[in-house]
Amino acid sequence: FPSHDIYLAPNVVILRGGSINDLLTVTSGTIAATVASTYANHVAIINRLLAAGIPVIDEGIYGYSSTPTDLASTRSAVVQLNTLFAAYADQFPTQVIFINPVGVTGDSSGAYLKNVSSDGTHLTGYGGMLVAQKEAAAMTALFGRSSGQRYPGANVISNAMLANTGVVAYGTVATGFTFGA
């Protein structure tokens, strides 16, 4: 991300890094190099934020259940990276919170759990809600309970539980909600 973004001084950054996109072409012959490269990039981002005094909520990689060239290698890379990300976060217990996707969006093999992804790559509205619950818990751990309304705008959600969906270029997404300040 651009260096000037750090100067905006966010109170926290939710890092949804270590993208599955980095792993879509991994094979048994490239897994070690791909994991090493993805991990190095991920750690560089975290270190840059920590150097600026910005705490990080690291979400790891949610899971994968689509059909790349080598599904077993992709899932293995997901598991390896999430293990590395968690270990790295453990080194900074007051500055980095790792949200382990196992049991939330994925299982211990790196596969998505039922109903959290409709295409095997992206989260459904339900999957996003499960992650948001973990994000809220992490934010509370960092900052304490909310003492009142912090967003003075109006949220209008006509799509309860984001159950209604539409199809866009990259897959099925929840529809029927708007946000306004």
Say what the pLDDT of residue 80 is: 97
Say what the pLDDT of residue 179 is: 52
What's the pTM? 0.79
Distance CA 40, CA 26 (A): 16
Neighbours of 46 (CB within 10 A): 22
Neighbours of 140 (CB within 10 A): 11
Using 50 as the pLDDT threshold, list the residues of the chain that sit under it.
1, 181
Q: What angle do CA 110, 102, 141 make, to 5 degrees?
A: 145
Say what the pLDDT of residue 181 is: 45
Residue of 85, 10, 14 lying closest to 43 (CA atoms):
85
Question: Are the beta carbons of 61 and 78 closer than 8 angstroms?
Answer: yes
Distance CA 106, CA 38 (A): 19
Say what the pLDDT of residue 14 is: 93
Say what the pLDDT of residue 41 is: 93
Say what the pLDDT of residue 165 is: 79
